[in-house]
Chains A and B, each alone.
Chain A
């Protein structure tokens, strides 16, 4: 079977659009091209609008600050700031200077920031006024640390430089669904390929109005939401206060939103409550990923005139591995693999190679050994492809339940199946021993908007009946034999993933 279909995404846009999507191999090459093409166009709007030309001057100022502090090329430079225009020009300035941008989560506290600087061998951090209150411990314990505040701007500038495509561009942190946070080292080539992959899937990607609420330190926020926006000459509105997101959306009227499923569902519920599409009259597309995307969201957003594209990606792949432009016909798929990737499926697990893949992990040699086999990156995700080359995620290899009868069960595979039921918002599959007997248990959180239409007294029976129908389609050893219906949400990780361990 052929897993990567050459140029498949070219079917979904006009040839003139496709011709404008070109390969860059480093940030400097891409940014020079952006400034040349879009100099007078708005690039960032955070209440004040900055053009591409103005952003370029601010990035040159950041290079001036780095040069003034005698930071050598190739040095790891932390970026410690919330989503802001400063974040964007600091990232551009740092990477086009030839330094590696280490994207430090802004929610870190004082002690953790210090520990982080030690673990990742940082001696330079770019920051802003608002974060200075968290730098006390770091500065007390590490005299001579270069803490560079970009808030006041810079009188000096320094030139950009061409970067080796295979040199580190950024280090980003991923929690994953298991274990500890890992620092993923991405090359310039990888970041550029990830940025380009974000351009495919629908017509009219250039000159859009984008909106960012996801953290810029997260791969989805940085690559798809921010860098693809810059690549395409679009303007990016930086949401200043999440509580005000719908007011800011109403003012700015974005055409494209990049959301995680939990936010896409929240926006749907709010829209229902107020009886109008809260993403505004101009929003045509939602790019949705970073967690499993329920087909329900694709169908329900379509009713409001918005196409929601599910995608699949990892921090280790500089964001997108696949995207689903046929989402209306196949809402349960994460779509086609992007050009340039090599794919194999080993015992059901997806293995990847390609220009967008990580160089390695920072300070985690054991993790690195586990993640690679013969130069292939092992995603840990169990997958299948249909005959047209569409990818489906069926589970996580690390979450296999081995039942007492020796059968291996992938809870995520079953969760995906049961999540396709409209009245189920979220679910968890696990094994539970009660009075010496083992039950393969399905715990579900009903979707209020759907069960509201069912008379209260009949709801439980309705939910059980829907589950029973799906259960009957499964091979007998995979059928669940206990159902728990929740009335409150599951315990979740900070990134909104359901914790496997709920006790």
Chain B
């Protein structure tokens, strides 16, 4: 799975939170800031992390939400930790 595919799958996960037609999903790139561009709040972050764990079989056990600023940071983490 390359970065583009991971990004597409992330968008699919976020669509449960944003709605499929959301302009936010169209604008979502690796550079998007999770908080200021995508508007994720603490519960939104929790939703994303839990969904990613299930979808990508990675564990976020030893990291903090504050470690991730952009979508690219999340993709880096997924690439480095996928089993």
Known: A243-B60, A489-B44, A492-B41. A452 touches B20 (CB 8 A): yes
Partner of B16, one of A448, A451, A488: A448
Q: Is the CB of B43 within 8 A of A448?
A: no
Q: Which residues of B contact A488 (CB under 8 A)?
A: 18, 22, 24, 38-39
Q: Is A273 an interface residue (CB 8 A)?
A: yes
Q: Which residues of A contact B50 (CB under 8 A)?
A: 243, 245-246, 270
Q: Which residues of A contact B47 (CB under 8 A)?
A: 266, 269-270
Q: Is A503 an interface residue (CB 8 A)?
A: no
How distant is the Cα of A451 from the Cα of B20 in the complex, in angstroms? Answer: 9
Q: Is B15 an interface residue (CB 8 A)?
A: yes
A279 CB to closest chain B CB (Å) equals 13
Q: Is A242 an interface residue (CB 8 A)?
A: yes
A382 CB to closest chain B CB (Å) equals 27
Partner of B19, one of A242, A266, A451, A494: A451
Interface residues of B in 52-74 (CB under 8 A from A): 53-54, 60-61
Q: Is B5 an interface residue (CB 8 A)?
A: no
Q: Is the CB of A273 within 8 A of B51?
A: yes
A213 CB to closest chain B CB (Å) equals 10
Q: Which residues of B contact A262 (CB under 8 A)?
A: 43
Query: Which of A263, A273, A456 has the largest count of B CB atoms less than 10 A from its CB?
Result: A273
A201 CB to closest chain B CB (Å) equals 25
Interface residues of B in 20-43 (CB under 8 A from A): 20-24, 38-43
Q: Is the CB of B23 within 8 A of A456?
A: no
B54 CB to closest chain A CB (Å) equals 6
Q: Is A16 an interface residue (CB 8 A)?
A: no
Q: Is the CB of A496 within 8 A of B42?
A: yes
Q: Is A241 an interface residue (CB 8 A)?
A: yes
Interface contacts (Cβ under 8 Å), in number, total: 65
Please name the residue on chain A nearest to B38 by beta carbon: A488
Interface residue total, chain A, C-beta cutoff 8 A: 28
Q: Is the CB of B16 within 8 A of A449?
A: yes
Q: Is the CB of B51 within 8 A of A459?
A: no
Give the secondary structure class of B's interface.
helix
Q: Which residues of A contact B61 (CB under 8 A)?
A: 241, 243-244
Give the secondary structure class of A's interface.
helix
Known: A243-B61, A266-B43, A488-B39. A456 touches B51 (CB 8 A): no
How distant is the Cα of A262 from the Cα of B38 in the complex, in angstroms? Answer: 18
How distant is the Cα of A274 from the Cα of B15 in the complex, in angstroms? Answer: 14
A68 CB to closest chain B CB (Å) equals 36
Q: Is A294 an interface residue (CB 8 A)?
A: no
Q: Is B81 an interface residue (CB 8 A)?
A: no
Partner of B49, one of A243, A274, A448, A489: A243
How distant is the Cα of A487 from the Cα of B21 in the complex, in angstroms? Answer: 9
Q: Is A446 an interface residue (CB 8 A)?
A: yes
Q: Is B13 an interface residue (CB 8 A)?
A: yes
- Chain A 459-487: CB-based contact to B (< 8 A → 1; otherwise 0): 10000000000000000000000000001
How distant is the Cα of A262 from the Cα of B17 in the complex, in angstroms? Answer: 12
Q: Is A272 an interface residue (CB 8 A)?
A: yes
A293 CB to closest chain B CB (Å) equals 15
How distant is the Cα of A172 from the Cα of B24 in the complex, in angstroms? Answer: 39
Q: Is the CB of A456 within 8 A of B16?
A: no
Known: A270-B51, A487-B18. A496 touches B46 (CB 8 A): no
Known: A243-B61, A244-B61. A452 touches B19 (CB 8 A): yes
Known: A262-B43, A488-B39. A448 touches B51 (CB 8 A): no
Known: A269-B16, A273-B13. A242 touches B21 (CB 8 A): no
Q: Which residues of A contact B54 (CB under 8 A)?
A: 274
Q: Which residues of B contact A451 (CB under 8 A)?
A: 19, 21
Q: Could you jot down 29 A-B contacts, CB within 8 Å?
A: A242-B46, A243-B49, A243-B50, A243-B53, A243-B61, A244-B61, A246-B50, A263-B43, A266-B43, A266-B44, A269-B16, A269-B17, A270-B47, A272-B16, A273-B51, A446-B19, A448-B17, A448-B19, A451-B19, A459-B21, A487-B22, A487-B23, A487-B24, A488-B22, A488-B24, A488-B38, A488-B39, A489-B41, A496-B41
Listed in ascending order, the chain A residues whose CB lies under 8 Å from chain B are 241-246, 262-263, 266, 269-270, 272-274, 446-449, 451-452, 456, 459, 487-489, 492, 494, 496
Sample of 9 more A-B contacts, CB < 8 Å, known A269-B47, A452-B19, A489-B40: A243-B53, A246-B50, A266-B46, A270-B51, A448-B20, A449-B16, A487-B24, A489-B41, A496-B42
Sorted nearest first, the 7 A-B pairs with minimum C-beta distance are: A488-B39, A448-B19, A489-B39, A456-B21, A262-B43, A487-B23, A487-B22
